[in-house]
Amino acid sequence: MKILLVGAGGVGDAIAKIAARRSFFEQIIVSDYDIARAERTIAWIEAKHGAQNGRFVAAQIDASDASVVEKVAREHGATHVMNAVEPKFVMPIFEGAKAAGADYMDMAMSLSKPHPERPYSETGVKLGDEQFAVADEWQSAGRLALVGMGVEPGLSDVFARYAADHLFSEIDELGTRDGANLVVRDDEGNEIFAPSFSIWTTIEECLNPPVIWEKDKGWYTTPPFSEPEVFDFPEGIGPVECVNVEHEEVLLMPRWVDAKRVTFKYGLGDEFIGILKTLNQLGLDKTEPIRVRSKNGPVEVAPRDVVAAGLPDPATLGPRMTGKTCAGLWVTGTGVDGSPRDVYLYHVSDNEWTMAEYEAQCVVWQTALNPVVALELLATGAWSGAGVLGPEAFDAKLFLDLMAAPESEGGYGQAWGMQERTPAS
């Protein structure tokens, strides 16, 4: 397996660092628009693990150009293209991988477009629609595009498959719930606003109309930040208010898992929601370039790119961050014994540990872990398939067993949890 890793930002950097401890691949080509970032990642790996003898090489790439992605993949003989950049680049990387005859993996799917007349009740172009539209082409070519294989989506979808296969005879709701107690401080120790993940992606997710799936209605939308609820997260994180957010799980899970309802709710907090609403009111969430004056004359710039440029790079926040983040799936329904059941399947990532082990902050590290596990399962043949498939299309137990097994036994040493909760009456 030769992997073209597109993007050496926070998540891409962590993917390479996690993979450096594994032996399932022949080579990873770490690529980025700024090749210095790719070279920095490789230098860290070699300082930590010694000379890699060509297992990691750097390359320059323009992820916005499918022909460039194809060219770089072909030059290096890549068998797999791993997309680790913002979702606005999904389609050119997806198309470039297909043109190169390589398999493909991403952690977020092609972008959505709200319904032009009824955005808060009906879906328009849904997340992943552009990719699923060409699923037959991928299947006919015998190539696999494994989409949504990060943490959320990704691990949450693996949990959905596991719950359906091993824990429940009937599922009422698959509810992804994400929360954290992370705090970022400045040099003086004051708590500051600094998103732990790409603000470009966060704006896209949080200000688009959230999607919900119900068996008798199909997919439909609501206004942003709808249906707030307080969810009690494990391992000391505690209660966090969560709201509906547009996310790939809701578009993936119903395709492979039988459930009456599928939702995604994210613990944002009042301050974050207020900031996002302000950005929206001021038009600073827009992606279309506008003309602005500069000392060198008029320039075209997208407001959202300005917001992203003005905030700290999430990859640099680790030393300033404390706390834990929790990704998981809340499943309700009827257990295999016929009794009502209510469980939360989850994985917690502690920033202190990820910084000590990988010099990567916990949110990007937790996201990066899961595609590496999936790539190893594909490399060994434990997972296989063709077409455009989500994580739910594969054996979840194989994934969770490999993830949880100690490193001394060939695993990743990342235990996942299952918390039984009292079913609602």
155-365+416-420: what fold? Dihydrodipicolinate Reductase; domain 2 (3.30.360)
Q: Please identify every stretch of the chain with a pLDDT value under 70, giving residue numbers as ranges.
A: 192-197, 315, 318, 425
pLDDT of residue 182: 86
Q: How many CA atoms lie within 13 A of 393 on its CB side?
A: 17
Domain extent listing, the chain: 2-115+126-149+368-404, 155-365+416-420
Q: Do 155-365+416-420 and 2-115+126-149+368-404 have the same topology in CATH?
A: no
Q: Token pair of 47, please?
A: 């300082």
What is the model's pTM?
0.92
Question: Rounded to the nearest 5 degrees, what angle is found at the Cα of 115, between the Cα atoms of 222 and 109?
Answer: 85
Taking only the tens place, the pLDDT of each residue in 400-414 is: 999 999 999 999 999
End-to-end CA distance of the chain: 51
Q: How would DSSP label each residue in 125-180?
A: BPTTHHHHTTHHHHHHTT-EEE-S-BTTTBHHHHHHHHIIIIIEEEEEEEEEEEEE
Which residue type does 8 have?
A
Q: Please, which contacts does 280-286 make with residues 24 or more away whose CB atoms are closer than 8 Å?
A: 280/207, 285/203, 285/207
pLDDT of residue 36: 97
Q: How would DSSP label each residue in 235-258?
A: TTTEEEEEEE---HHHHHHHHHS-
pLDDT of residue 196: 64
Contacts of residue 108, defined as CB under 8 A and 6 or more positions apart, other chains included, come to: 86, 87, 90, 148, 150, 153, 201, 248
On whether the CB atoms of residues 104 and 146 are closer than 8 A, the answer is yes
Check if CATH label 3.40.50.720 holds for domain 2-115+126-149+368-404: yes
On whether the CB atoms of residues 350 and 322 are closer than 8 A, the answer is no
Collapsed DSSP state (helix, strand, coil) of residue 207: helix
Q: How far is CA 145 from CA 14, 15, 185, 377, 385, in A?
A: 21, 18, 39, 14, 9
Say how far apart CA 117 and CA 121 lie, in whole Å.
9
Say how far apart CA 112 and CA 130 lie, in whole Å.
9
Q: Token pair of 361, please?
A: 């902050």
Contacts of residue 334, defined as CB under 8 A and 6 or more positions apart, other chains included, come to: 168, 169, 170, 172, 340, 341
Q: How would DSSP label each residue in 351-386?
A: HHHHHHHHS--HHHHHHHHHHHHHHHHHHHTSS---
pLDDT of residue 317: 72
On whether the CB atoms of residues 307 and 335 are closer than 8 A, the answer is no
Say how far apart CA 10 and CA 52 lie, in whole Å.
21
